[in-house]
Structure 1
Amino acid sequence: MRIAIVGGGAAAVGLLDALAVGGARMEAGEVTVFEPSAHLWRGRPYGPDLDSVLVNAPPAIMSIRHQDGGHYASWLGPERAAAHLDELLGQPLVPRGLYGEYLADAAEAALAALRRRGWRTRVVAARVVAAARSGGAQVTLRTEDGHHHRADRVVLCIGRGTPQDHYGLDGAAGFVDDPYPLAHTLGRIPAGAHVAVIGSGLTAVDAVVSLAARGHAGRITLVSRSGMLPHVWQRPLGHRPVHLTVGRVEELCREHGGLTLDDLAGLLRAELAETGEDFARFTAELLSAGSEEPVRRLRRQLAAVDDPGIGRRVLQEAAHTVGPYAWRLLPEADRERLRAHFRLATSLASPMVPVNAAVLLRLFEDGQLTMVAGVRKIEAVEGGFRVLGDTGELDADAVVNAVNPPPQALPRAAEPLVTSLLDDGLAALHPAGGLVPADPRLHVVGDLAGGGPFITSSIPGVAAAGARAAVALAASRNG
């Protein structure tokens, strides 16, 4: 079997690792990875960058090997772990560039393991721009250099999209359309400039923390529609859910003939009852995020890093383990109820690490950092930019677009390929966004996969999807 993997980021690494570890029964074939980036295996998030750009999660959930939470921690080792310890979290948090080295090592180890079993492996440093069914049961891929490559199975491992230019600022002097790598983009901003950072999620946090790390002396303003900062990670407790699990969701689905949001809430209620926590109080605290003053909430959450309550910890884990499975079982009305809380869900499922939260709080308290919510318009004016929000106007010298791309967003560079897949009938657009295979020769792994949850895929989600794709490839080969 010839397998073509389009994209060479974290999703491809998870797939290769799953093939190497779990595909021992597959007859040896050929794997070709197509990736034009110079930063192979790292994708957009984990390329070389400033040391202030940290991995936003503890090691236990950053393993690219599905169901092996110690894989990344083992690679990290005690010396590197100690050198990058976040004392507030009690966990090592490394720069993302270093995590990119882990992904690269995992990919190369997987390819070596496949070669030892007789597989042929190669990496083609070119972008795939078209795909079409060819004679027999194969698919022909065309790269931008005009070469054609045939494959029996094609796996799209295309990463996330880039930030959307909501305010039409592209081309304006002083506008940073895509902040990464921050080592490059922030160097263009004068040290005394007033910087408006669009967004208030993890990318915006990266931008603010990195400006501070570079010694930026000017004002920094977070400008967004919601004004909601990410939650703050709490110290891991080692608690293992017994109710809010995939197994219990499967049982409920069999018993009730389906699954509802109320069923999931009941599982969370039972989980909290195990430790004597009040469900109503917990949910009320969550829902207050949209109205509580952001700095006050940040200060409160930073002080609660050691809080023994399991509520947020359980929900954060469930969002990336139970969530992708349960989402496909929920009726559309319940999905809409969840989508209405998109910003809150994103804030909870993708918290900021305490070391970054502490930097933000210090900048807020020193007066260098401010937050403006309810932003309606940002326009380029002579000498800079004008931000119009619910509380009035402010002027800025530079604007950094730190809006997180929505889940299932299509990267601009992949548009020609996706168009050809749709035209040839190999794939179809999902009504809620993303791409779904319309032919058994195509698989989609990662954030582009249609029909998934409304929050962005995490490393555990990507690793799980890679493992599922490896199982499907083995079944098609052995079948």
Structure 2
Amino acid sequence: MLDALAARAAGPGRITVFEPSPHLWRGRPYGPDLESVLVNAPPAIMSIRHGDLGHYAAWLGGRAAEHLDPLLGEPLVPRALYGEYLEHTAETALAALREAGWEVRVVRSRVTGATGAGTRMVLGTEDGQRHEADHVVLCVGGGTPPDLYGLDGAPGFAGDPYPLRRTLDRIPSGSDVGVIGSGLTAVDVVVSLAARGHTGRISLLSRSGMLPHVWQRPVERQPRFVTTDRVAALHRERGTVALDDLVGLLRDEIDSAGEDFAAFTAELLAAETDDPVRRLRAQLDAVDDHRIGRRFLQLTAHTVGPYAWRLLPAADRARLRRRLRTATGVASPMVPVNASILMRLFDSGQLDAVAGVRAIEAVNGRFHISGDQGRRTTAVLVNAVNPAPQSIPRGAAQLVDALAADGTAALHPDGGLASTDPRLHVIGDLAAGGSFITSSIPAVAFQSARAAAAVTAASDSGRALSG
């Protein structure tokens, strides 16, 4: 948001950033942590400047060669280094804003109240201070993992794995470790345990047992049919866009490449029943596969998907939600270097994936896991369940309640917060109306550019912005 404002804003004005956490600009995922905790996507997907896919790669410069994933052919840096990119970009934006005549300050306090009554919005912080603004932008992130089994406070339970440096320091190297979940956060935990030489058994514990897909090497070809322009044209022509229309566009894309659409869809759906280890091996073997189907689905899920989602009938959105685990596994794959580490651990027998988990209880210093595969116990449990998109982060719950009570925003029936006041802008997974796929960096950059445009379209004098 700051970078987008710096590109558009002419002074004077005033920006106040409210941030109580110790690591400015990095958010929860990109603070200082282990070298094994990697950015999970190629550089072009991680640029935070809308319309400039090379922004992050340019900042990374010569350091890219030090972090090359030989399977992917792309640099994959530690998340803490990506956090340095975010910090540098924010500080550069602040300097540019100050040069343009903006007054910028950072308040290290949480916002707990808000009202839109009167000509300006008024925010209240937990230290009892009041702050006025013409526009308010919520950039609060996705929150922390939900405690699905009520284990908070149990000895040996890590409710939030990040930073992994802190969490894994508390785990004896020979202990059995259960990891709740089998998505990207769970992959981070397993890979980091392996990097530290953990010798005990590691179990991925989940309901589905499904692992994320594996990134494939990027290709030069770009979508010609599954584009925002084509979806918008369908909407103009018909007044609606159905899921079958989107499937038809993807079919055209795959047909134009001379590939088998039926085989592609069968392979996708097989993820729901395939053995996860067998599938992981096949995914690693397909990193260099020339076929475009999965690559284009991953790309368009984050580029075209957020726009198309809002046009779909409720019944079609419900159909997609029923494929939640499959869709997120495809849209947010793991990087090949991590997939190869998991494969090695599976082959050695140190790692296993337990599907059909129904209950986990803390009993006499151990955790009892029960489900479709019977019962087992473990000494240590790490919670790697990701918060659902559009869920309300605990740290922002009081503020969200205040905005809803004031009528400045409304809680959406499908989750998230919808602004009902043009002075309030919501960015990221908290924004209502988004799909069930966690917002990508490009999606957040687009939302920020849109919010910056709305803010700077206001009067050129006397603006005050809070975020």
Scaled by the length of structure 1, the TM-score of the pair is 0.95
Over the residues paired in the alignment, what is the CA RMSD in angstroms? 1.1
Matches within 5 A, 1:133-212: 133-134=116-117, 136-212=118-194
CA distance in 2, matches of 1:113, 1:390: 57
Q: Is 1:441 matched with 2:423?
A: yes
After alignment, is 465-474 or 291-300 more displaced?
A: 465-474
After TM superposition, the structure 1 = structure 2 runs for residues 32-43 of structure 1, keeping only pairs within 5 Å, are 32-43=16-27
Structure 1 counterpart SS, 2:53: coil
Task: Tell me the residue number matched to 2:243.
Answer: 261
Q: How does 1:239-318 map to 2 (within 5 A)?
A: 239-318=221-300
Structure 2: where are the runs of 5+ without partners? Answer: 462-467
Alignment correspondent of 1:100 = 83
2:220 counterpart of 1:220: no
Once the 2 structures are TM-superposed, how far is the Cα of residue 252 of structure 1 from its aligned partner? 1.0
**1:440 & 1:85 partners in 2: Cα distance?**
44
Please name the residue that 2:464 is paired with. Answer: none
Corresponding position: 1:16 with 2:2: yes
Number of residue-to-residue matches in the alignment: 461
- 1:415: how far off? 1.2
1:87 maps onto 2:70 in alignment: yes
Which of 82, 102, 113 aligns to 1:130? It is: 113
Identify the residue that residue 405 of structure 2 maps to in structure 1.
423
Specify which of 365, 373, 377 is matched with residue 395 of structure 1: 377
* Residue correspondence of structure 1 range 63-78 to structure 2 within 5 A: 63-78=47-62
Corresponding residue SS for 2:357: coil
Q: Secondary structure at the match of 1:393?
A: strand
Q: Secondary structure of the equivalent of 1:386? A: strand
Q: CA deviation at 1:48?
A: 0.4
SS at match of 2:223: coil
Q: Deviations over 1:279-335 (max 9, x none)?
A: 111011000001110000000000110000001110111011000000000000100
CA drift of 1:271 comes to: 0.6
Local SS of the residue matching 1:477: coil
Match of 1:108, as an amino acid? E
Aligned-pair CA distance for 1:87: 0.5
CA drift of 1:39 comes to 0.5
2:103 maps to 1:120: yes
Separation of aligned partners in 2, 1:133 and 1:268: 44
Question: Which among 2, 14, 27 is matched to residue 30 of structure 1?
Answer: 14
Aligned equivalents of 1:473 and 1:434: distance in 2?
A: 22
How far 1:27 moved relative to its partner? 4.7
Question: Which amino acid is the alignment partner of residue 17 of structure 1?
Answer: D
Deviates more, 1:227-236 or 1:257-266: 257-266
Match of 2:43 in 1: 59
Which secondary structure does the structure 2 equivalent of 1:376 belong to? strand
Match of 2:330 in 1: 348
Instruction: Return the offset for 1:18.
Output: 1.0
Superposed displacement of residue 478, structure 1: 6.0
What SS is found at the alignment partner of 2:458? helix
Q: Distance in 2 between matches of 1:461 and 1:94?
A: 21
Distance 2:27 2:391 in 1: 15
Q: Is the 8 A contact 2:12 2:460 kept in 1?
A: no
Give the % identical residues. 67
- In the alignment, the residues of structure 2 paired with residue 253 and residue 478 of structure 1 have an alpha-carbon distance, to the nearest angstrom, of 36
Structure 2: how far apart are the matches of 1:417 and 1:378? Answer: 32
Q: Which runs of 4+ in 1 moved over 6 A?
A: none
**Corresponding residue for residue 7 of structure 1:** none
SS of structure 1 residue aligned to 2:457: helix
The answer to whether the 8 A contact 2:69-2:76 is kept is yes
SS at match of 2:403: helix
SS of residue matched to 1:454: coil
**Structure 1 residues 209-233: Cα deviation after superposition (integer angstroms, max 9, x where no partner):** 0111111110000010000000000
Amino acid of the structure 2 residue aligned with 1:18: A
1:141 partner SS: strand
Between the aligned partners of 1:61 and 1:224, the Cα distance in structure 2 is: 28
What is the Cα deviation at residue 158 of structure 1? 0.8
1:113: how far off?
1.2
Partner of 1:60, secondary structure, is: helix
Rounded to whole Å, the distance in 2 between the matches of 1:188 and 1:153 is 43
2:39–2:76 CA contact under 8 A, matched in 1? yes
Separation in structure 2 between the aligned mates of residue 190 and residue 238 of structure 1, nearest angstrom: 46
Give the letter aligned to residue 5 of structure 2: L
Query: For residues 268 and 406 of structure 1, do their structure 2 counterparts lie closer, same or farther at Cα, with a shift above 3 Å needed?
Result: same
The aligned counterpart of 1:6 is none
Are the aligned partners of 2:143 and 2:395 in contact in 1 as well (CA < 8 Å)? Answer: no
